[in-house]
Amino acid sequence: MSREQIIINMETNKDSKTNLPPVAPCPDPMTVTLTAEQSNVVTADFNAAQLANYQGELGYNSPNKAYAHTFEWKPKTRCCQVTKAVLKVELKAIQRGASPKSADSGNDRIAIVSSGGVSIPPFNEPVYDPNGTFPIPAGTLATKIWSLQGSDLNKLNTAHTLSFFVQDDSSVLSATLVLTICCLDKIG
């Protein structure tokens, strides 16, 4: 790079490789981990059918009861935003799943929901791999890990909540939401 190119790049304050303005580091980054240890449901995020047949207990072992949960976080200052979120849910088939279309654990789905139970694409998928081996025995374990970025974070940054719903023949063993947060004001 010539001396003239360096001067031009300094004057325009752009990265010489990407030609974009440099990204400032977050002045006060933090990570917050939320767990679903206690039942919490923001009813506005779910529809009437979901609310009529759910329970919020981890490890629940009776079929035909869905699981619903809402994570809530409280910003430390008014200038904090979630920049990344990772939802991890560990599940277990309560009963045998005959096929991906059978009315048992085989057809169960998990979804991130909002505004009356509407799923947030692409976060709506089968609990158990529909291309996997069926039937699946009772006790089969599954783990879902979803990384949210960009516009997926709108609800977390406006209402400070994230809700999810699991269909009725799978037990939620644990659920964690790890938030990467940037605050513009130093805390404390």
Distance CA 41, CA 83 (A): 23
Burial (CB < 10 A; 0-12, 13-18, 19+), residue 173, is middle
Task: Say if domain 25-183 classifies as CATH 2.60.40.
Answer: no
* Both structure tokens of 157: 């940054």
Q: Read off the pLDDT of residues 56-106 as tens digits, 9 standing for 90 and up.
A: 999 999 999 999 999 999 988 878 999 999 999 999 999 999 999 999 999
Under a CB-based contact definition with an 8 Å cutoff, are residues 146 and 123 in contact? yes
Check whether 9 has a pLDDT greater than 50: no
Under a CB-based contact definition with an 8 Å cutoff, are residues 121 and 160 in contact? no
Residue type, 138: A
Distance CA 69, CA 173 (A): 13
Q: Residue 5: what pLDDT?
A: 45
User: Is it true that the peptide bond before 100 is cis, omega within 30 degrees of 0?
Assistant: no
Q: Read off the pLDDT of residues 25-40 as tens digits, 9 standing for 90 and up.
A: 898 899 999 999 999 9
Check whether 187 has a pLDDT greater than 70: no
CB-CB neighbours of 83 under 10 Å: 16
Q: Residue 184: what pLDDT?
A: 86
Q: Residue 78: what pLDDT?
A: 76
Q: Residue 2: what pLDDT?
A: 47
Check whether 11 has a pLDDT greater than 80: no
Q: Residue 119: what pLDDT?
A: 92
Check whether 23 has a pLDDT greater than 90: no
What is the rounded average pLDDT for all residues in the chain?
89
Higher pLDDT, 13 or 111: 111
* Residue of 64, 46, 176 whose CA lies nearest to 119: 46
Domain extents in the chain: 25-183
Q: Residue 16: what pLDDT?
A: 66
In sequence order, what DSSP letters do the residues of the chain get, joined into one string?
Answer: --HHHHHHHHHHT--TTT-SPPPPPPSEEEEEEEE--S----GGGS-HHHHHTEE--TT---SS-EEEEEEE---SSTTEEEEEEEEEEEEEESS-B--TTSTTGGG-EEEEEETTTEEEEEEEEESS-TTS-SSBPTT-EEEEEEEE-GGGGHHHHHT-EEEEEE-TTEEEEEEEEEEEEEESSPP-
pLDDT classification of 10: cutoffs 50, 70, 90: very low
Q: Read off the pLDDT of residues 98-136 as tens digits, 9 standing for 90 and up.
A: 999 999 999 999 999 999 999 998 999 999 998 989 999
